[in-house]
Amino acid sequence: MTFNGWMQIALFCAIVLALARPLGGFLTRVYAGERTFLHPVLAPVERGFYLLAGVRCEAEQGWRSYAVAMLAFNLLGFLLVYGALRLQGALPLNPQGFAGVTPDLALNTAVSFVTNTNWQSYGGEATMSYGSQMWALTVQNFLSAATGMALAVALIRGFARRSAKEIGNFWTDLTRSILYVLLPLCVVLALVYVAMGVPQTLQPYVTAKTLEGADQTIALGPVASQLAIKMLGTNGGGFFNANSAHPFENPSALANLVQMVSIFAVGAALTNVFGRMVGDERQGWAILGAMGALFLAGVAMVYWAEAGANPIHAALGLDPAGGNMEGKEVRFGIALSALFAVITTAASCGAVIAMHDSFSAIGGMIPMVNMQLGEVIVGGVGAGLYGVLLFAIVAVFVAGLMVGRTPEYVGKKIEGREVKLTMLALLCSPAATLLALGVASVSPLGLAGLQESGPHGFSEMLYATTSAAANNGSAFAGLTANSPFWNVLLAAGMMIGRFALIVPMLAVAGSLAAKGKVPPSAGTFPTYGTLFVGLLGGVILIVGGLTYFPALTLGPVADAFATAAGTTY
């Protein structure tokens, strides 16, 4: 670990913190329907959309109606992506002449992009036409991100309102997320990325004659426009197979800094939106504080693990001072690769700038743990906030048990119904992960996809089922997941991890909205101090982490001992 490495990490954290409050203020205005500097241009567009779609923006929905609208929208989105991928061969903007995508891969990919997972069983430049990347995948990058943001705002309204039946209007929350937040930012970011060297073209691939006289076919495409939303919407699905390790998808350390900040920007700002909407910004900072503590602990562990050389390789004559460079790019080095791996798994992004499968055992375990904690360390846009608020409910419940009082959170009494629904939401993802892992471990079809044998092979499966159910999308990519078995298994994991969490979460929102506000009293546990930050962090680690401890022991922990002992498989 170097001083420079830590300074780069500090710079990233400072930028994210500096952006949280101004962006949070802007988001709060957008979701309240107040005017912003973008309204003179975009308000007519917004009204036009509502007119065509038959949406009355002042008509709000109860939680059931909100949930059904969200599910209907996602179902249609899924069908559109599935159809577009199957028919790829007959659709335009396909200069490489790629055929239609196979049924199981189209199913997996459609579920993956609709659920904001962006797990990719395919290599982009060898499978997807420019057209598919645009109207199938880029669109869902916007829509799944906007869905997450809308849901987070709906849950915040549950806390903020008193004695209300409604939690907002899904159509307006969705439309505003895209028109006022995601799209304008992406237009700016996409052009910034082009200026830094990211291609944006519809021309076919170019064949170069190298200095040594060989032919090199160079894949191109409309990369920058997809890259911008891939990061900002914490989607993470790469245009190219190598994702943001590819020099065209991440040409320089400066482009990388912009990408890292975009992953966290909206998620961090939403904690501030929470604080503003419940009338006490300290509540938002406390949540961001708990996230920040867990984040820095993760960064320190991965950086430490990757900066040290693998003793097996050092013994062969590789200079240990360089750290573990297998699967990493020289322009990013150890510190940024470690930082990015933690960011992308803390948020539910899943983009990578280095191959996690080639990380050291511990360096690869922390990204898994981040996902297993429910991706609540900043988390996916919207998904991170509603996830952490569920943990906050558990935290005040635990605190209430300790002192024997009915727990309260931001003025709402937390009672049996909310706690049961919260636990239901929090347990569906671990259940999906571990059941899928169990099925794959005893199935020849599951084991057929493994690249590695020994504990690392188990880690490849654990990473895959974790990533799917947590809606992350990064992989230990040695696993060959493009088989009917893995495509269907992981699609099921992604569906459960997304929607089986969202529906009970919205029920919590509806239940909270209907309650009155309890004024704080001498017995109220303050949820903005360091005690609450520590309690929330502890609950996340215990509930999220212990569930997976046996599986982690068989995979990365055993792998770490094997590395230390010099055993290879």
CA 428 to chain centroid, in Å, comes to: 17
Of the pair 37, 205, the CB lying nearest another protein is at 205
Secondary structure of residue 100 in the 3-state scheme: coil
Q: Is the dihedral of CA 368, 369, 372, 376 positive or negative?
A: negative
Could you tell me the smallest distance in angstroms from the CB atom of residue 341 to another protein? 11
What Å distances lie between residue 244 and 32, 226, 237, 293, 519, CA to CA? 35, 12, 9, 26, 49
**Kind of pairing, strands 206-209 and 412-413?**
unpaired
Of the pair 92, 444, the CB lying nearest another protein is at 92
User: String of b and e for 158-180 (b: at least 16 CB within 10 Å)?
Assistant: bbbbeebebbbbbbbbbbbbbbb
Look-up of token digits 């396909």: 94
Could you tell me the smallest distance in angstroms from the CB atom of residue 543 to another protein? 29
Amino acid occupying residue 343: I
Of the pair 206, 401, the CB lying nearest another protein is at 206
With a CB cutoff of 8 Å and minimum separation 6, the contacts of 567 are 454
Of the pair 321, 403, the CB lying nearest another protein is at 321
Of the pair 398, 557, the CB lying nearest another protein is at 557
Nearest to 171 by CA among 64, 56, 32: 56
Of the pair 455, 493, the CB lying nearest another protein is at 455
Which two structure tokens, joined as six digits, stand for 197?
A: 């060297």
Could you tell me the smallest distance in angstroms from the CB atom of residue 496 to another protein? 21
Could you tell me the smallest distance in angstroms from the CB atom of residue 259 to another protein? 13
Which two structure tokens, joined as six digits, stand for 109?
A: 């990919």
Asked whether 468 and 33 are in contact (CB, 8 A), the reply is no
Could you tell me the smallest distance in angstroms from the CB atom of residue 349 to another protein? 16
Could you tell me the smallest distance in angstroms from the CB atom of residue 158 to another protein? 20
Could you tell me the smallest distance in angstroms from the CB atom of residue 343 to another protein? 15
Of the pair 322, 534, the CB lying nearest another protein is at 322
Of the pair 338, 392, the CB lying nearest another protein is at 338
> What one-character-per-residue DSSP string does 353-389 give?
SS-GGGS-HHHHHHHHHHHHTTSTTTTSTTHHHHHHH
Could you tell me the smallest distance in angstroms from the CB atom of residue 551 to another protein? 17
